[in-house]
Amino acid sequence: MSFGVCYYPEHWPPARWTVDAQMMRAAGLTLVRIGEFAWANMEPAEGQYAWDWLDRAIETLAGAGLQLILGTPTATPPAWLTRAYPDILRVDANGRPRDHGTRRHYCPNSPTYQAYSAGIVTAMLGRYGAHPAVVGWQIDNEFGGGQTARCYCDWCAAAFRRWLQARYGSLAALNEAWGNVFWSQTYSDWAQIAPPGARVDKRSPSHELDYFRFSSDAWVAYQQLQIDLVRRYAPGRVVTTNFMGLFPDLDQYDLAAPLDLVSWDNYPTGNPERWRPRLYAPGRDSRRNDPTYAYDVGEPIITSLAHALTRSLKQRPFWVMEQQCGQINWGDVNPGVRPGSSRLWAWHAVAEGAAAVLYFRWRATRFAHEQYHSGLLHHDGSPDVGYGDHLRLEAERALLDEVMAAPCPPAGVGLLFDFADLWALQLQPHRADFGYLRHLFVYYEALQRLGIPVDLVSPAGDLSPYRLLIAPTAHLAGEALAGRLADYVAGGGTLLLGVRSGFKTPSNLVTADPLPGELQHLVGATVTDWQSLPPEVGWPLVAETPALAALGEDPAGFWVERLRPGKAQVLVRYAGGGAALTMNERGPGRVYYLGWYPPAGQARTLLAYLASQTGLQPIASDLPPGLLALRRAQFIFLLNFTDRPLTATPAGYTITVAPRDVWVGIAEQPDR
Ligand code: GAL
């Protein structure tokens, strides 16, 4: 188990570095990330490198026994570069270039920027690639952060045309895939195609979806440029980058694939505040913290979802590269953090699969945008609340070491998470409050409240470990996905498909087949009609199965689809006619289709039923709100995110967990 810290030696006089290094070691920290924004210090003028300060910082930290993660500084091109070569600047959808001033103002498709990036990274690697204390490299910082995932410059336009040529081969194929017969959009020359910027009204969703895919691929390629250099000049070192949890603009599976490990930046009081409006049901989506939880812990189920996605990118232990350890500066309220909360966040990360946690940051900065952001130390260099919490964790190190060495075997339930589906529904939600993440969260939250462990899974990933696979919506369903799902069911899996599944082709056209399109044969029923419903309208439900009687207590609302069963059995029907929930036996497997968008209570009822059908055991029964039950290999955890003691029953034992505290036990069954 490693704990570490993000450190900015360039912000402090060198004389202080020795004190800092000694204090880090005294606190038990072993990892330090440095360098990721220090390009102007490393190369103050073009081609003139200044390594003395960094040599000395690295020697000071290494001399104290610390290991280093070096960040490549490409998130912050220096002023001499942006002023001399303005073609590196990112251009927004309205055609306006971003200016120099903070960070992430560059375009990954600019050949000029690629060349200068390779230059600084190669120079760093030449200097430190073989340094024994430099154990890893972080590529850049938070790709896509600050709304920079998509650029609309001329370099991007040219690269987009090349990307389309490779994808479609011919203009005829592209015109057909995008449905360009609509509104005279047919292209007769590749040069006619431009990025779908904001100067066009009512853009083609196929064109836009491909631009989202292309933009994501551009970052993957830009990242690869740097990975190749690290592999070449620093063999054997760990390569990662820091992800942003539920950040939706880039395909995180693709970015994760070439990395040795995935890490993310966890700010429990900040991220959920931003994501809550995109996750909670309409009416519950304000930016105010849910009062169930203590005021300074954030919203743990949302944080859990971000941990789970990060873990699931490789289905392996991950790192938290930046862990909040006191108040942050970029939320609405930025609540102060009391002793105990930072420790709870570290345990939460560990329970979800973290193998290392690095605090952000060592010492609160005196400069610029993040002046009000805390660190382990106050501005004056004395210990802040997070430092004290870390000392508590050191006292628990034996147990932490054991847990952090544990693998992350797949959970019993997989939730299908597909970025192209997310983007397609973002482009055409049909109703403004239909969001892919919000829909997914209904199922995720229900499973968390039931205490049933769950992974997220890519449609291209290994589906076979999951007893239950839930596709809240398998929206863009081509032959490939249909085949993979059919194989999963043929292997004995239970598949639950939700509304809007199979509605579209991978290029974002509506299927010409009866719904759910490519998935119809799996479902054994046809969706005959669908409607988005205003809040006051509901379609009464009648359960045909006693075990699902509770589903009939409330009507279906929000989004409803009526099914006509073929081979499938009807489990719930609409009182007004048509099937609402069907089940199709296919060999050893089963396929359920849920024809309405369930609110939280109905989702819990349905998932508890499916868990019992598939033999999935909750970690604990009687889980009260605010208490999370998690599992990692043989370890089970109860984490209390409230200010009152809470009790639950894991494996038949009654356990009371103190406010903002954690309980760790060993599961009796090795089973998931
Ligand atoms: C992260 C970023 C850090 C710092 C931090 C502040 O998103 O990677 O550089 O800005 O937020 O909370």
Residue nearest to atom 11 of ligand 1 (CA): 265
Give 617's Cβ-side CA count (13 Å radius). 14
Share of the chain above pLDDT 70, in %: 99
The closest of 497, 538, 539 to 518, measured between CA atoms, is 497
**pTM for the structure as a whole:** 0.98
Looking at residues 172-199, what average pLDDT do you find? 97
Query: Ligand 1: does its nearest atom lie under 6 Å from the Cβ of 466?
Result: no
Angle between helices 111-128 and 205-233 (to 10 degrees): 30
The ligand 1 atom nearest the CA atom of 369: 10
Is the per-residue pLDDT at 285 higher than 90? no
Query: Ligand 1: does its nearest atom lie under 6 Å from the Cβ of 562?
Result: no
User: How much distance in Å is there from the Cα of 520 to the middle of ligand 1?
Assistant: 45
**How is residue 130 written in tokens?**
């073989």
Is the per-residue pLDDT at 284 higher than 90? no
Residue-wise pLDDT for 396-431, tens only, equals 999 999 999 999 999 999 999 999 999 999 999 999
- Per-residue confidence band for 672, with pLDDT thresholds at 50, 70 and 90: very low
Alpha helix stretches (DSSP H) within 280-322? 300-314
| Residues with catalytic function | 142, 322
Query: Ligand 1: does its nearest atom lie under 6 Å from the Cβ of 103?
Result: no
Residue-wise pLDDT for 509-535, tens only, equals 999 999 999 999 999 999 999 999 999
Predicted confidence at residue 588, as pLDDT, reads 98
Mean pLDDT score across all residues of the chain: 96
How far apart CA 608 and CA 637 sit, in angstroms, is 20
Alpha-carbon torsion, ordered 143, 144, 146, 147, to 10 deg = 170
Q: What is the DSSP string of 45-69?
A: BTTB---HHHHHHHHHHHHTT-EEE
Q: Which domains does the chain have, with CATH numbers?
A: 2-404 (3.20.20.80), 413-614 (3.40.50.880), 620-666 (2.60.40)
The ligand 1 atom nearest the CA atom of 329: 12
Q: Which residue has the higher pLDDT, 156 or 285?
A: 156
Residue nearest to atom 12 of ligand 1 (CA): 328
Strands (E), 533-603: 541-543, 559-565, 569-574, 579-586, 589-594
Three-state SS string over 523-546 comes to HCEEEEEEEECCCCCCECEEECCH
Predicted confidence at residue 384, as pLDDT, reads 98
The ligand 1 atom nearest the CA atom of 328: 12
Predicted confidence at residue 669, as pLDDT, reads 61
Residue-wise pLDDT for 114-137, tens only, equals 999 999 999 999 999 999 999 999
